[in-house]
Amino acid sequence: MPLGEPLGLLALLGAIPIIVAYLLRPRKVRMEVPSIIVLFEAYRPKRFERIFKKLVKDTLLPLQLIAILLFALALSGPYIVIGEQVSSQNVAIVIDASGSMMADGRFEEALKKAEGYLGAKNTIVVAKSRPMVALEDAPPSEARKVLSGLRCGASSADLSSAILLASEKLPRGEGTIVLISDLSHYRGENPVGAISMARGNGHTVVVDEVVGNGNTDNVGIVDGWIESGEGGYIFHYEVKSYYQPRNVEIEAESGGKKTKTTLNLGADESEFLTTQLSAGTSVIRLNVKDSLSADNIAYIYIPTRGTREILFIGNSTSPALVAMDVMKENYVKSITRQSSIPSLAGYDVVVVGDEGAKISKELGMMLKAYVESGGKLVVLGSESLMSDMAIGELLPVEIKGTFNETILSVVSKSEVVDGIPFNGISVVKGLETMGKEGSITLVESSMGYPVISYWEFGRGVVVYVGLSDMGGWDDFPSKPEYPIFWLQLLNWLTGVGDAQSYNVKAGMLMPLGSMKEVITPSGKVITDLLLLDEVGIYTVDDKTYAVNMFDSLESDIGFKSSLEPGVYGGGATYTLERSENRMDLTWIALAVLGVICVGELFILRRRGEL
Amino acid sequence: MIDIDFFDQLDRFTFMVRKRVSTLYKGTRRSVRYGKGTELVGFREYTRGDDIRLIDWKVYARTDKLFIREFEEEKSAITHILLDSSRSMDFGRPYTKFEYGAMLGAGIAYLVVKNSEKFAFSTFSERIAINPPRKSLSSIVSIVDELERMEIKGKTKLLRAIEEFTDVLRTRSVVVLISDFLVKPEEVRRALMRIGRHEIIMIQVLSDIEWELDVYGSVEFIDSETGDKIEVYATPSFLEEYKRRLENHIEETEKIAREVGADFFSFRTDMPVFESMLEVIEKSRY
C-alpha cells in the first residue's frame, strides 16, 4: 500500500515499550487449592473463548500492537490509487505482434512498455500481416485490459501500414504514436516512410525497441511444400540453424507412424529434408530448446478424397461439362431441362448451364430446396438469366443487362481462382451485375461488375460464373487453365482441393462470407474474416487448414532492420505527465483504531479492572 | 495438632456444656426393641414359643390365662464420627481443615465417652477406614495419635465411602460427617440418602484459602486432589463471583442436608474450635 508520509511509520517504535512491558510483566501465578470445583463454576469459559484463549494468551497485547500499527499507519497517510490522470495528449500504441516477437519474452516486454506509454486517450493498433485496431480512444484502464489479451501471430508485421493506421486514428496536429517492436524483419514498406507521414500529420512518433533477454539462437522449419506423385504425397521442408551450430532431433508423425532423424547443422546452415505423408494431419517436430518455438513445428494436412457426384443441367456440348467429366474423381450426370429432373438430393454439386431458355418454375423450386438444404449450385452465365425469375433469387448478383468488352481481374484471393490468369481472358460480352449483400466477388470486370461471385443461401452455396457457357462471350473455355478452374471450383465446393491449398503460411486472410464458427489452434472464434496467424490446425465448415510459420526472415530473430529506436518529431526525449487519483485511507485506519480502543476498554471492564 | 492442653480445655468445656444440656443426646437413646431388660412396659397373651420364664404367674392366678411380661431394652446408640482425610483437607491456617475436623471429632468423641456411650472414629478419602466402637478415654488418645501420624492424601469419594460404611452399619446410629464437602452436590445427596435412616450431623470445614483467594492477574489454579487446572485472569469481579458461587455451594449443601433431616454446620479453620463445638452441641437436635 503506498504511503503519503512514510515517516509516520516511526510511530511503530511505540510498540517497543509495550512489548518490553509485556515481557517484564509478572508471570502467571500457580496456586494449589483444595478443589477447583467452585472456581470452575465461577469461571466457565464458552467454547469460543477456550479456543481463543489457546491462541491468544493475553488478548490485550495483540490489540495494543494492532492499535500502534494502525496509529502509525494513520500518521503515514495511506492511500490507494483509484484512477490515473494523464495530462498528456492522445496516444496511439502500435505493438509489433509478428512471429519474432514470440521469442525470448519480447512480446511480454512490449506489453509492459506499452502500459508505461498510456495517455488520457488511447488507441491500440496491433501490427500483424494486416494491421488491426484493437482499441480506439479509450481510457488507460480499458487499454490495460486490451493489452493483456493481445497475442502474437506467426507471420511478419506490416509496420508501415500499422503506423499509418495509427496516424489516421489520432487527431491531426496532436498526439503521439508509439511503436514498440523488436525492430527485426517487417513486411511491406519501410516504416521510416510511414513515420515521416505521421510527423507530417503533426504527430510525434516514438520508436521503442524490445530486446527480450538478448537471446538470438534459433533453429526452425523455415519452408515447406507438398508434392504429389504416384505414390502419394511427399512433404519437402527446410530446417535452418541461426547463429549457432546445432544437433537437431527431428520427429515426423504421419498416418500413425513416427520416424526420427538427427541433423547436424552448422551456424546459419540449412538442410532440406523430405517425408512421406498420409491422408489427414501430419506433424513434424524439432525437439530443441531455443528462443522461438513457433517455427519448431510444422503441420501438414492432406484431405481425403472420394468420388464426387455432379449433376449438370445444360447442353451436352457444354465445355464446362467436358472439363468436369475428364476428372476421374467426378461422376457427372448430364441432363437437359426438358428431361425429367431427378431428385437433387445426393448430388455434391449441381451445375446449371446455358440452354438458351429460362429455367422452369418447378426446376427453380427444386434448386432452391436443394441449396437451402445444403446443396452446392453453380450457375453459368447466359442471357436467359437476365429475366429468369425462377433462379434469380438464388443468384448472388442482380443482373441488369449486358456489357461489351472488358478485362477481368481477381479481387479476392481464393483457392477457386488461384493461379488462373483471368486478366488474360478475352471477354467480348458479359452480364452487367451488381453483387447482392453478403456475396463475395472473386473476379470482376473492369467496370466493377462481379463476374465470378458466390454467397451462402440457406445452408448451401450458390456460385455465379458469369463467363459464357455456350454463348461464346469469352475464350476462357479454350484456355488451358479452364479445367483447372473447374477442378479448383469443385474442390472448393466439395471440401476437397489441391493438397497445398489446405496448407498455408501464417498471415493469410480468409473471407468466410458470413459469420462462422472457426476452431483455431487456441480455441474457437466466430468471424466472417479469418486471419490465419497461429501455427496449427484450423477447421471451418468441415474444411481443415494447416498453418505454419515458414518464414526464414521472421525466424532470424537476431536480425535488426535499419529502423532506429528514438523519438521522431517533438523533443529529443519523450515524457509523459501523469498523476494519480488517490483515495486517502487515513480515516479508515483511525476508525479501526477507534474500534480497537473500544474493544480494549470492553475487555478491561469485563475483567473488572475498569 | 491435639495436645494435652486440648484435652484440659475439653474437660472444662464438657463441664460447661453439661450445665447447659443434660447430655449430647438429651438422655440415652431409647431402643424400640422389646426383650429382657429392667423396665416393665406391659403384658401380652402367651403364644406358643414364648419364653416360659417370662410368664407372669400372678396374672395367671388372677385371670386363669397365661400372659408374659414385656420389658424395654435400654440400648445406647453408637456415635460414628467420619472424618474426611482427602488431600483437600490439608489446607488452612492456623489449623488445616483436617486438624480442625479432627479436633471437632475428638471433642465429640470425648463428650460421648463422658456420657457413657460408645463412639467409632473412622476416616475416609477414596475408601473408608472403619474403626470399631470404643468406650474409653484412652481410646480417644490413641485415635488422636493415629490421626497425627496419618498422611492426608487421596481424592474425596464421599459416596463410595458412605456405601462401604453402610455395609457394616447394622443399627441405627448417630453419624457425624466431617468434611469440606467440596464435591458435586448430587454426590452429597446420594451419600446422605444412603444413611438417611440414621441421625446425621454434617460439619463442613473450610479454610481461609477457600474464602479469601488472595490473588490477582493471571493465575493457574491446580486442584490438590485431581491435578486439574484452570487458568483465569483474577480480577475483583472474578473474585466476587467466586465468593458468591462458594456461598451458593454451601447453601445448596445445607439444603440437601435439610432434605434428609440432617443438621448442617459450616465452620472456618480460623474460628476457635470450641466455639464451633458449642454451636454443634447447642444447635443439633441432640
Angle, vertex CA A273, rays to CA A269 and CA A277, nearest 5 = 150
Report whether B16 contacts B114 (CB < 8 A): no
Residues of A in contact with B212 (CB under 8 A): none
A 46-65 residues with CB below 8 A of B? 53, 58
Residues of A in contact with B209 (CB under 8 A): 33-34
Residues of A in contact with B223 (CB under 8 A): 33-37
pLDDT at A567 over 70: yes
State residue A263's pLDDT score.
93
Quickly state the pLDDT bin for B14 (edges 50, 70, 90). low
- Whether the CB of A29 is below 8 Å from some CB of chain B: the reply is yes
Quickly state the pLDDT bin for B30 (edges 50, 70, 90). very low
State whether A31 and B221 contact (CB < 8 Å). yes
pLDDT at B76 over 60: no
Does domain B76-207+253-283 fall into CATH 3.40.50.410? yes
State residue A227's pLDDT score.
84
State whether B182 and A38 contact (CB < 8 Å). yes
DSSP state, residue A288? -
**Which of A130-144, A369-383, B208-222 shows the lowest per-residue confidence on average (mean pLDDT)?**
B208-222
3-state secondary structure of A565: coil
Express as a percent the part of chain B with pLDDT over 70. 85
State residue A566's pLDDT score.
86
**Is-same-fold flag (A219-303+498-556; A308-494)?**
no
The grid cell for B200 is 446425621
Give Cα separations from A569 to A163, A196, A563 (angstroms).
Answer: 14, 9, 15
Q: What is the mean pLDDT of residues A380-386?
A: 86
- Whether the CB of A21 is below 8 Å from some CB of chain B: the reply is no
Contacts of residues A209-212 at CB distance under 8 Å and 24 or more positions apart, as own/partner, are A209/A181, A209/A182, A209/A183, A209/A565, A210/A101, A210/A106, A210/A107, A210/A109, A210/A110, A210/A113, A210/A180, A210/A181, A210/A182, A211/A106, A211/A109, A211/A182, A212/A103, A212/A104, A212/A105, A212/A106, A212/A109, A212/A182, A212/A291
pLDDT at A582 over 80: no
Angle, vertex CA A151, rays to CA A146 and CA A156, nearest 5 = 125
State residue B32's pLDDT score.
39
Residue B94: cis peptide before it, omega within 30 degrees of 0: yes
Per-domain boundaries in chain B: 39-71, 76-207+253-283
CATH number of A84-214+560-580: 3.40.50.410
Report whether B201 contacts B174 (CB < 8 A): yes
State residue B35's pLDDT score.
43
Q: What is the CA radius of gyration of chain B?
A: 23
pLDDT at A491 over 50: yes
State residue A196's pLDDT score.
93
Average pLDDT, chain A: 87
CA of A67 to nearest chain B CA: how many angstroms apart? 22
CATH number of A219-303+498-556: 2.60.40.10
pLDDT at A571 over 80: no
CA distance B236 to B230: 17
Give the nearest chain A residue to B223 (CA atoms). A35
pLDDT digits (tens, 9 = 90+) for B131-171: 888 888 888 888 988 898 889 989 999 999 999 998 877 77
What is A328-381 written as a DSSP string? TTEEEEEE-TTSPP---TT-SEEEE---SSPPPHHHHHHHHHHHHTT-EEEEEE
Q: Which candidate in A25, A38, A603 is best for mutational testing of the B interface (most B CBs within 10 A)?
A: A38
The grid cell for A526 is 466466430
Phi, psi (degrees; rounded to nearest 5) at A251:
-115, 125
State residue B74's pLDDT score.
42
pLDDT digits (tens, 9 = 90+) for A516-538: 899 999 999 999 888 999 999 99
**Which of A31-45, A166-180, A450-464 shows the lowest per-residue confidence on average (mean pLDDT)?**
A31-45
CA distance A187 to A191: 9
Express as a percent the part of chain A with pLDDT over 90. 48
Report whether A66 contacts A118 (CB < 8 A): no
CA distance B73 to B52: 19
First-to-final CA distance of chain A: 37
State residue A459's pLDDT score.
84
Q: Hey, which CATH number is domain A308-494, 1.25.40.10, 1.10.10.10, 3.40.50.880, 3.40.50.280?
A: 3.40.50.880
State residue A320's pLDDT score.
92
B 193-232 residues with CB below 8 A of A? 207, 209-210, 213, 215, 217-225, 228-232
**Which of A279-283, A451-455, B51-55 shows the lowest per-residue confidence on average (mean pLDDT)?**
B51-55
State residue A127's pLDDT score.
96
Q: What is the mean pLDDT of residues B40-61?
A: 79
pLDDT digits (tens, 9 = 90+) for A492-518: 888 655 677 789 999 988 888 778 899
pLDDT at B98 over 90: yes
Quickly state the pLDDT bin for A23 (edges 50, 70, 90). confident
State whether A38 and B241 contact (CB < 8 Å). no
CB atoms inside a 10 Å sphere around CB B130 = 18
pLDDT at B18 over 80: no
Give Cα separations from B74 to A266, A330, B173 (angstroms).
Answer: 132, 139, 14
Amino acid letter, residue A172: R
For cell 390365662, what's the residue? B65
Q: What is the mean pLDDT of residues A39-43?
A: 71
State residue B73's pLDDT score.
45
State residue B23's pLDDT score.
42
A479's CB contacts (< 8 A; 6+ apart) are A421, A424, A425
- Whether the CB of A24 is below 8 Å from some CB of chain B: the reply is no
pLDDT digits (tens, 9 = 90+) for A112-148: 999 989 988 999 999 999 999 999 999 988 999 999 9
Q: What is the mean pLDDT of residues B180-192?
A: 92
Average pLDDT, chain B: 82
Q: Where are the alpha helices (DSSP H) in A348-479?
A: 361-372, 389-392
3-state secondary structure of B255: helix
State whether B218 and A40 contact (CB < 8 Å). no
A 157-176 residues with CB below 8 A of B? none
Q: What is the mean pLDDT of residues A204-213?
A: 92
For cell 429382657, what's the residue? B36
State residue B17's pLDDT score.
60
State residue A214's pLDDT score.
87
Strand B67-74, strand B30-35: pairing: antiparallel
State residue A55's pLDDT score.
56
State whether B218 and A28 contact (CB < 8 Å). yes
State residue A305's pLDDT score.
66
Per-domain boundaries in chain A: 6-78+585-607, 84-214+560-580, 219-303+498-556, 308-494
Give Cα separations from B147 to B100, B144, B150, B151, B192 (angstroms).
Answer: 11, 5, 5, 8, 25
The grid cell for A268 is 546459419
Is the pTM above the cut of 0.80? no
CA of A72 to nearest chain B CA: how many angstroms apart? 30
CB atoms inside a 10 Å sphere around CB A413 = 13
Strands (E), A255-324: 257-265, 269-277, 280-287, 297-302, 308-313
pLDDT digits (tens, 9 = 90+) for B228-272: 888 888 888 888 888 899 999 999 999 999 998 899 999 999 899
Q: Which of A357, A426, A441 is closest to A395 using CA atoms?
A: A441
CA distance A46 to A27: 25
Q: What is the mean pLDDT of residues A347-362?
A: 86
Among B210, B232, B241, beta carbon nearest to A34:
B210
| CB contact burial A537-569 (16+ within 10 A = b; e otherwise) | bbebeebbbbbbbbbbebbbbbeeeebeeebbb
pLDDT at B77 over 80: no
Q: Could you report the predicted ipTM of this complex, rounded to two decimals? A: 0.73
State residue B286's pLDDT score.
44
State residue A82's pLDDT score.
65
pLDDT digits (tens, 9 = 90+) for A407-421: 999 999 888 998 999
pLDDT digits (tens, 9 = 90+) for A244-303: 999 999 999 998 899 999 999 999 999 999 999 888 899 999 999 999 999 999 999 988
For residue B135, is it left (φ>0), alpha (ψ between -120 and 50) or beta? alpha
Express as a percent the part of chain B with pLDDT over 90. 31
Phi, psi (degrees; rounded to nearest 5) at B279:
-60, -40
DSSP state, residue A384? G
State residue B25's pLDDT score.
42
The 3-class secondary structure across A264-276, one letter per residue, is EECCCEEEEEEEE
The 3-class secondary structure across A319-332, one letter per residue, is HHHHHHHCCCCEEE
pLDDT at B33 over 50: no
